[in-house]
Structure 1
Amino acid sequence: MIAKEPNTPNFSDDQIRELTDIVFLEEKLPSPCDVIFVFGGTHSGHWEKAIEAYFNGLGNKLIVTGGFNPKVKLYESREIVKYLVEAGIPKRDIVFEDKSSNTLENVLFAKEVFNFGAINTVLFICKSYAAGSQYRTLVQHLPGHLEFVNFSFDAKFNGTTVARDNWFNSETGRKRVWGQYLRIIEYGKKGDILPLKKQIEGL
């Protein structure tokens, strides 16, 4: 089990650039997709970003994931759907699963409620520092013809925002990003996500 905030080594400028691209993914302008995939979570960014995407024409169908969260005693997907409907998104445009307990299960159980073989593009929503691992999970378990577009949001931890352009300036950011990189390596070896072609030299 890799800690969410493990101790970090010292990173060179080149290593910071590589970590940023692996963990946050490369920056690209979002484009309209066939469906919006919302990874489970309790951060308001999950539904706020989904609402933004829907009303900006980035997708007209939403797949919401997330099962029961014992810490907050609610079903993540049902909570997200509640906010989507309150924002004016018709229920007919939303499908959800409420059995998953992690990223891998988000994707696997989504396959039970939606036919991914009938579409070509997926806009996915998650925390920005989790985008790399979420993307690799989607690629590993959904049909190979699909194209994935990242539409993520920055999260705060104890008042510190962890974002693509500043994570390396704070201890929290460095630990969070390093932990994500270590998980990408570990889950890649297990086959849960698409493995890295090569690890960062010196790390």
Structure 2
Amino acid sequence: MPVTTDPAGAATAVAAPADRRTRSWLVVAVLVLGLALGVGAGLLIPRFTHPGDDSVEAGFLRDMSTHHAQAVEMSMLAHANSTNPRIVTLAGDIALTQHGQIGYMQAWLRDWGLSPTSSQEPMAWMPGSAGSVVNGLMPGMATPAQLAELRKATGNDLDVQFLTLMRAHHLGGIHMAQEIIQLSDDKDVTWLAQTMVSGQQSELGLIDSLLQQLQPK
């Protein structure tokens, strides 16, 4: 091992390890700070990127929650009062599915820090929706008079009324869901909307088949 008699060289040799240790601690500090900032950004960025109060996603979730709530109401009436096992099963399936989807939609609005309701008019989130809301009702929704008739109906009349109203309801809901799929880039919202489209299109086939069997020839 070479030995130096130069005081300056000796000082440099002693200082070098210390400098390296200092630099190492600085590197570690920078890495730790960078990691902390990265974690902080990871926690904060999702909040910044959540859909806002006037976003198409928030509008869709609010409107579809209301739309679904009526479907659940009609389905529970048919499930409780129909004597046709196929109607009872279909109504139960629709009520459970759409009630579950309302849960998703309301949870997302909560997570985004948004109100479940808005002062905006129904369908305001959808471009070109003027005229699609009639007397405050979104596409496919039953009127108060139709709901009153459904509550009083019995037997085959109940089944046909329920199927007819639900058919229109599904068509309106599918239209809304297809629109948000085109308008949104939120993967959760578009996934749920696609689930609605697939499920309700399948149910429409069954509804049409049942109507053909039950309606007077």
Instruction: Give the shorter-chain TM-score range.
Output: under 0.3
Higher helix content, 1 or 2: 2
Which has the higher Rg, Structure 1 or Structure 2? 2
Higher strand content, 1 or 2: 1
- More RCO (CA 8 Å, sep 6+): 1
Normalising by structure 2, what TM-score?
0.23
Normalising by structure 1, what TM-score?
0.24
